[in-house]
Amino acid sequence: MSSNFPDLVQVKEKALEIRANSLKMIHAAKSGHPGGSLSIADILSVLYFGGHLKHNPLNSHDPNRDILVISKGHASPAVYSVLALAGFYPIADTMSFRQLGSKFQGHIDSLKVPGVEMSTGSLGHGLSNAFGFALAAKLDKSQRKVFAILSDGELQEGQCWEAFMACAHYKTNNLVAIIDRNRIQLDGGTETTMALDPLEDKLSAFNWETKTINGHDLEELDNALKEAYRVSEETNKPFAIVANTIKGKGVSFMEDAVAWHGVAPSDTDLEKALVELAGTK
Amino acid sequence: MGAAIEPSTEKIATRVAYGKSLVELAKSNQDIVVLDADLSSSTQTKFFAKEFPERFFNMGIAEANMVSTAAGLAKAGKIPFVSSFAMFATGRAWEQVRNSVAHNHANVKICATHAGLTVGEDGASHQIIEDIALMKSIPGMVVIVPADAKETEKVMQVVTAYNGPVYVRLGRSALPVLFDDKYNFQIGKANVIEKGEDLSIMACGIMVSAAVEAAKILKEKHNKSIEVINIASIKPLDTETIVNSALKTRNIIVAEEHNIWGGLGDSVASALLENCSEKLKFKRLGINDSFGQSGKAEDLLVHYGLTAENLVKLSLEMLDYQS
């Protein structure tokens, strides 16, 4: 099990590798979701390589592992990449992404990929799934932590608010939800499509502890997670981190661009993107 | 298979047997947890809630979250039983059953009550007659409709031991008890209650006791030999038993408290078409593509023709009976 003191240089490097590999996968498949994969790369890297999420690549069902539910199942390239980098399978395998017979489905599949806890893709389910894991951990008197990464757009699904209500009601203080607040969904901006702001106020009104941070600042992420564990223990409330992110983060022409929600990069796009990412090392 | 016995005068609703079975099973199985959506008094999970409050989760009137939460609990090693009215558990939360539960092969038991017309006075909004269709079309989903309290008890033991998603359709109204302790329920097995030569009545749920009664009338008053088959396991379907009976009697009526479109009748018809080249007579008795309405359960069954008397009439028509 990995629980090293966070080495932020390594966490940063891994985040870049997640981004680069995600784009290679989408390019090879000629389909996929680059924008939302790039926006959560830093969050995933901090969880897996910053010592927050206990995981065991040799036994994906290790009873001592923590749980991460990725509710935005379309960010599958980033998820498959981080699991490969964490040692669950060789990274070269991920190049079969979205091909017939591949375990690397368009949206993440818990029955096919070791390390994926829940199959998601239909938006709005993941927080409920994570809540189930959190209740089970409470029943088992386990110290297990449960994380959920939610997209911001999916919060338009009513089920998310049923789940926010239920988590607070059952005081699942072992659950941290990280909201990838990139402010863009398929049709456009979240605020013009169906406004979510004031998001933190809404979460507070649902009896959650909240903190808004820069979701690309690795130290802020690390600190917010540590604060979440401490505060939730004190207040018995679940904790939501609103991570302000940039959709397409790390590749200039993809950043904040609605068009890159679900489009594959061309050969030239990929080349330019990989050069840019290499330059930020 | 189960012994045919005379229907008892004692009547018990399948939901009542469900509530009792949960408590019994949970005494020896620590993994069982129960989720309900503000209907525990109706679904009978209240008894479990009283006995095992730490393992009972009232999720409020929020079925989507309830079903997806159950999937998480199952993935963490629990055996969640999810209850609400069948309308909401399978209708409102269909997409959560499909994607959170079945697509994850999560070990969740959707045990929903108040299915069909026999909800009675609440009327069409609560009388789901589409749930079998909704559930059987989901890949890998086991669909079970018990016919009485004893079968419900046996079904509960079997589905607790089975690893995977299951839908159990339960009813509100008290039903005659058809089976005794010797009855053995198996997933994927139909149960020939009475052997016969002239016509087969295949039924599930409340229509099984109607079929038994109809067979008795047809024998005593009309000298007809009726085979009665209880198909509690709608999916997987016991094609062998169904086909063997059809090849013997050549006359088949399927009876269910469900829309004729998408129910057991369709499943049996498909099984017969794919497996028999012989000429057969076939009739579905169910709700003929209309919504229900308010009324006493027994009055509704008469109004929609879901009675032993109507089964007798249809059987005689099929057998070209001349009085």
Q: Does B63 qualify as catalytic in the annotation?
A: yes
Q: Most A CBs within 10 Å: which of B36, B61, B67, B68, as the mutation test of the A interface?
A: B68
Q: In whole angstroms, what is the distance from residue A245 CA to residue A213 CA?
A: 9
Q: Do A132 and B60 touch (CB under 8 A)?
A: no
Find the helix packing angle between A158-169 and A126-139, rounded to 10°: 20
Question: B236: which DSSP letter?
Answer: S
Q: Do A131 and B105 touch (CB under 8 A)?
A: no
In one-letter notation, the amino acid at residue B273 is L
Domain B11-176 has CATH 3.40.50.970: yes
Q: In whole angstroms, what is the distance from residue B87 CA to residue B91 CA?
A: 5
Domains B11-176 and B191-318 alike in fold: yes
Q: What count of other Cβ atoms lies within 10 Å of the Cβ of residue B196? A: 21
Q: Output the pLDDT for position B9.
A: 76
Q: In sequence order, what are the beta bridge partners of B283?
A: B253
Three-class SS state of B284: strand
Residues of A whose CB is below 8 A from B72: 69, 118, 128-136
Q: Most B CBs within 10 Å: which of A72, A131, A142, A159, as the mutation test of the B interface?
A: A159
All structural domains of chain B with their residue ranges: 11-176, 191-318
Residue in A closest to B97 by C-alpha: A125
**Could you read off the pLDDT of B50-108 as tens digits, one per residue?**
999 999 999 999 999 999 999 999 999 999 999 999 999 999 999 999 999 999 999 99
The minimum CA-CA distance between B68 and chain A, rounded to whole Å, is 5
Q: In whole angstroms, what is the distance from residue B45 CA to residue B154 CA?
A: 17
Output the tens digit of pLDDT for each of chain B's 323 residues. Answer: 445 556 677 899 999 999 999 999 999 999 999 999 999 999 999 999 999 999 999 999 999 999 999 999 999 999 999 999 999 999 999 999 999 999 999 999 999 999 999 999 999 999 999 999 999 999 999 999 999 999 999 999 999 999 999 999 999 999 999 999 999 999 999 999 999 999 999 999 999 999 999 999 999 999 999 999 999 999 999 999 999 999 999 999 999 999 999 999 999 999 999 999 999 999 999 999 999 999 999 999 999 999 999 999 999 999 987 55
Q: Do A159 and B77 touch (CB under 8 A)?
A: no
Residues of A whose CB is below 8 A from B55: 139
Mean pLDDT of A15-31: 98
Of A69, A109, A132, the CB nearest to B70: A132
Residues of A whose CB is below 8 A from B100: 118, 125, 128-129
In one-letter notation, the amino acid at residue B180 is D
DSSP-H helix ranges across chain B: 14-28, 40-43, 46-51, 63-75, 86, 94-96, 131-136, 149-161, 207-222, 239-249, 264-275, 297-303, 308-318
Q: Do A166 and B78 touch (CB under 8 A)?
A: no
Domain B191-318 has CATH 3.30.2320.20: no
Of B59, B95, B104, the CB nearest to A118: B104
Q: What count of other Cβ atoms lies within 10 Å of the Cβ of residue B237? A: 20
Question: Which of B74, B83, B67 shows the shortest CA–CA distance to A139?
Answer: B74
What domains can you pick out in chain A, each with its CATH number? 8-279 (3.40.50.970)
Q: Do B75 and A118 touch (CB under 8 A)?
A: yes
**Is the minimum CB–CB distance between B59 and chain A shorter than 8 Å?**
yes
Residues of A whose CB is below 8 A from B56: none
Q: Residues B54, B63, B130, B257: which is the catalytic one?
A: B63
Instruction: For chain A, list residues whose CB is within 8 angstroms of any CB belonging to chain B.
Output: 67, 69, 109-111, 117-122, 124-125, 128-137, 139-140, 158-159, 162-163, 165-166, 169-170
The minimum CA-CA distance between B97 and chain A, rounded to whole Å, is 11
Question: B85: which DSSP letter?
Answer: B
Residues of A whose CB is below 8 A from B61: none
* ipTM, interface predicted TM-score of the complex: 0.96
